[in-house]
């Protein structure tokens, strides 16, 4: 009798089936259900998303492992798609962080080379640890893997701080330390990605966050540059926040929600997404 695939195996299988694999940000279990219904194969929990939307804080390294675990568990308990999770710099113990997230049903994590008081990867003023210190983080994270299929991805922010050649050299070092995949943050051109993927012999992720340093390249463009994973960390969250802002403004202005009903999800659709059939009327 064969056992079911591990979360990490599901993530790797999804990557093998798509080029590039679209990984979409889901802040909570309901967003994950919507993404699943839309046909995506892999989900993402953003550290900035946890900070901004779950905690009401900027993404400056103030959220905790427990904050991330709370949101991750809610997603994995409800949706069977593989979940990639942002673990910032790994907190105090990358191995313990990986063990905790793996126990929560997570498939993959990414760990970055900023100092612990980190900043959003598309903001100025970032500071990096040395390549040796980041390699130590990677090696520590690897000791927490529950099985070989679990993915530890190493993120480098060096392109914006030290230049593309340094980012490539760092990525190569992180792979030598045992990282499974590489997250290349804040690259600006397809030629940059082509140079990066030509030199880095592992799956490379491109972060297509809106209002950042990286243009919103299409899948065809990313494919031509050798990118394996395309990440959309907060697209749906930003849209939901804008819609909420507009509904609140209308309620305050009009004293009724009538003008915004066409922008709301109907109750019947909510129940359909949840797989819930309400009791029949007597």
- Contacts for 163 with CB less than 8 Å, ≥ 6 apart: none
Backbone angles phi, psi at 147, to 5 degrees: -165, 165
Sign, Cα dihedral of 251, 255, 256, 262: negative
Q: Is 55 a catalytic residue?
A: no
The one catalytic residue in 12, 52, 53, 59 is: 59
Q: Give yes or no for a cis peptide into 58 (omega within 30° of 0).
A: no
The one catalytic residue in 112, 113, 157, 180 is: 112
Q: Is 44 a catalytic residue?
A: yes
Q: Is 207 a catalytic residue?
A: yes
The one catalytic residue in 41, 74, 110, 170 is: 110
Q: Is 122 a catalytic residue?
A: no
- Contacts for 189 with CB less than 8 Å, ≥ 6 apart: 215
The one catalytic residue in 122, 137, 155, 170 is: 155
The one catalytic residue in 41, 71, 170, 207 is: 207
The one catalytic residue in 12, 53, 74, 86 is: 86
The one catalytic residue in 44, 174, 193, 232 is: 44
The one catalytic residue in 71, 113, 157, 185 is: 185
Under DSSP, is residue 90 helix (H, G, I), strand (E, B) or coil? coil
Under DSSP, is residue 35 helix (H, G, I), strand (E, B) or coil? helix
Q: Is 221 a catalytic residue?
A: no
Q: Is 92 a catalytic residue?
A: no
The one catalytic residue in 88, 157, 180, 192 is: 88
Question: Which token pair is 164?
Answer: 């593309």
Q: Is 80 a catalytic residue?
A: no
As annotated, the active-site residues are 44, 59, 86, 88, 110, 112, 120, 155, 185, 207
């Amino acid at each position: 009798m064969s056992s079911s695939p591990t979360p990490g195996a599901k993530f790797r299988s999804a990557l093998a089936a798509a080029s590039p694999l679209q990984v979409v940000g889901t802040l909570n279990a309901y967003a994950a259900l919507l993404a699943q219904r839309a046909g995506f194969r892999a989900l993402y929990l953003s550290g900035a998303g946890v900070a901004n939307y779950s905690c009401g804080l900027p993404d400056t390294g103030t959220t905790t492992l427990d904050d991330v675990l709370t949101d991750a568990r809610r997603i994995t308990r409800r949706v069977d798609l593989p979940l990639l999770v942002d673990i910032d710099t790994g907190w105090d113990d990358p191995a313990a962080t990986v063990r905790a997230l793996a126990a929560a049903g997570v498939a993959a994590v990414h760990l970055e080379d900023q100092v612990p008081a980190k900043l959003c990867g598309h903001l100025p003023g970032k500071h990096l640890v040395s390549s040796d210190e980041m390699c130590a983080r990677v090696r520590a994270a690897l000791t927490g893997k529950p099985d070989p299929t679990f993915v530890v991805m190493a993120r480098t922010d060096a392109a914006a701080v030290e230049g593309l050649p340094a980012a490539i050299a760092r990525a190569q070092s992180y792979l030598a330390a045992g990282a499974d995949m590489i997250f290349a943050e804040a690259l600006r051109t397809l030629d940059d990605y082509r140079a990066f993927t030509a030199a880095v012999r592992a799956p490379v992720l491109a972060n297509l966050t809106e209002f950042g340093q990286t243009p919103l390249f299409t899948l065809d463009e990313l494919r031509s540059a050798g990118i394996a994973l395309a990440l959309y960390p907060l697209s749906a969250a930003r849209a939901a926040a804008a819609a909420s802002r507009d509904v609140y403004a209308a309620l305050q202005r009009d004293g009724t929600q009538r003008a915004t009903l066409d922008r709301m999800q109907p109750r019947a659709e909510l129940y359909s997404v949840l797989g819930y059939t309400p009791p029949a009327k007597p």
